[in-house]
Structure 1
Amino acid sequence: MGEYSLFGKFTVKDGERDALVEILLEATQSMKNVEECTHYHVHVSDDDPNAVYVYEVWKNADAHQASLALESTQILIQRAKPIIAGIERISTLQPRGGKGL
């Protein structure tokens, strides 16, 4: 099984984007200790003040799924749930190469 990546969009309640960004940046710190996660990037858009995008690259899909059960991940999910209005998986991708991969 090859690398697995995910590009997702979180839509937050009005005025909550910065709060979700902070929570997701905490997740990036947690992911530094997870060897199977090679990239975890948090993005915002100038065009949508209620959107936060996350791009993740994992050694495989099973590693990503396992990360969702980590205690640190579960705590962050519980903190984020009240401010999230929607989640959209924009795409699941299979990396082929490029800078940083």
Structure 2
Amino acid sequence: MLKACLCESMRLYPPVAWDSKHALADDLLPDNTPVRAGDRVTYFPYGMGRMEALWGKNRLEFKPERWFLEPEKRSSLKKAVRNQTGKVRPSTGLRATVNGSHGRRPEGCG
């Protein structure tokens, strides 16, 4: 549940509002959009975390349970959002920080 709470917090309050990367090699985005080496790809995690098309009518609500879906039920864009915002590495440090804060966790984040 802690990981789901951290993911939901990162969705609503990403550490950066927008970011960009440069492709080192030719590649494809999850929706099969081609990216050539040297192309700049910019994304907007703050806005993407609030898109009704991705998260539904309750997109502005803090609902950690939305992260319990099976991977095959998620859209490729949702996967891209989570992967591009660097969720995996930072969440490890965040879990350690939360676990080390004298047992205090946000309400509902058992």
With normalisation by structure 2, the TM-score equals: 0.36
- Structure with more contact order per residue of length (Cα contacts < 8 Å, sep ≥ 6): 1
- Of structures 1 and 2, the larger Rg is shown by 2
- Higher strand proportion, which one? 1
